[in-house]
Amino acid sequence: MAAARKFFVGGNWKMNGNRSSIEGIIANLNKSEVSIETDVIVAPPAVYLDYTKQTIQSGIKVAAQNCYKESKGAFTGETSPAMIKDIGLEWVILGHSERRHVFGETDQLIGEKVGHALSEGLQVIACVGELLSDREAGNTNEVVFKQVKAISENVKDWSNVVIAYEPVWAIGTGKVASPEQAQEVHNDLRVWLSDQVSVDVAQSTRIIYGGSVNGANCKALAKQPDIDGFLVGGASLKPEFVDIINARQ
Ligand code: PGA
């Protein structure tokens, strides 16, 4: 029986934009009709977090794209969950494939960051996903389950976690996973949660899809029973982000 999982759409702006373009994105979101049936989060670059929080409509939450696993100290260049909370934010993205593959973050570090962010009272969008080579070798589930296990070991309260399944081969490539491909992994992740955590957590945890989602392909993906929303990169910088927010309407 499908639990009522609220649709969730995050916009990950990555390292894009400047004050003026971000002002434009926010102005567009502020005048748009955003469904109250969807939890909407945007994640600007760290230096624009405060500005975004101050100017975006209250129905849209703001997330950091990353954080460290300590609350303060000699960690040049890093941001702590305590600081993210301090400017009034509630969310952080962790384990994004670019953190894993460009910056070499390991499953263990990501797990520690998830544990620390949750313990500081943030909610976490925790990302997992396989490389094309993993998929071609038939190792998708093995890789994704290993990533989710490292996260799971650091989660006490799953109501503060959204899992983002983002196949690396689909991110920023224009090669979106088919609704069936995405649904298959989402279902497998839910079965994993049911076996390894609890049936209740499996039914209630949102599992969102990311990787080349756009205004044209979002509706077919959103129809899948285990796809509870999206994490959107490129298209979240464009007006079509509003169509993605409303994909279930
Ligand atoms: P994309 O990025 O939508 O540009 O493929 C998705 C993501 O990295 O979250």
Q: Which two tokens stand for residue 38?
A: 């969807």
Can you name the residues that pair with 246 across neighbouring β-strands? none
pLDDT at 4: 86
pLDDT at 1: 43
Between the CA of 73 and the centroid of ligand 1 the distance, in Å, is 31
Q: Which mutation among 102, 232, 236, 240 tests ligand 1's pocket best, with the greatest number of atoms within 8 A of CB? A: 232
Q: Which residue's structure tokens are 């759409």?
A: 9
* C-alpha to C-alpha distance for 222 and 183, rounded to whole angstroms: 10
Domain residue spans in the chain? 2-245
pTM of the complete model beyond 0.95: yes
- 2-245 homologous superfamily: Aldolase class I (3.20.20.70)
Catalytic residue among 166, 180, 184, 240: 166
Between the CA of 11 and the centroid of ligand 1 the distance, in Å, is 9
Checking DSSP bridges between strand 229-232 and strand 38-43, what pairing results, if any? unpaired
Nearest Cα residue to atom 2 of ligand 1: 233
Q: Which residue's structure tokens are 């396989």?
A: 130
* C-alpha to C-alpha distance for 112 and 127, rounded to whole angstroms: 14
Q: Is the separation of the CB atoms in 92 and 82 below 8 Å?
A: no
Which atom of ligand 1 is least distant from the CA of 164?
9
* C-alpha to C-alpha distance for 166 and 230, rounded to whole angstroms: 9
pLDDT at 125: 99
Can you name the residues that pair with 62 across neighbouring β-strands? 42
Nearest Cα residue to atom 6 of ligand 1: 233
pLDDT one digit per residue (tens) for the chain, 249 residues: 445 899 999 999 999 999 999 999 999 999 998 889 999 999 999 999 999 999 999 999 999 999 999 999 999 999 999 999 999 999 999 999 999 999 999 999 999 999 999 999 999 999 999 999 999 999 999 999 999 999 999 999 999 999 999 999 999 999 999 999 999 999 999 999 999 999 999 999 999 999 999 999 999 999 999 999 999 999 999 999 999 999 998
pLDDT at 127: 98
Catalytic site includes residue 166: yes
pLDDT at 115: 98
Residue 83 identity (one-letter amino acid): M
* C-alpha to C-alpha distance for 179 and 223, rounded to whole angstroms: 8
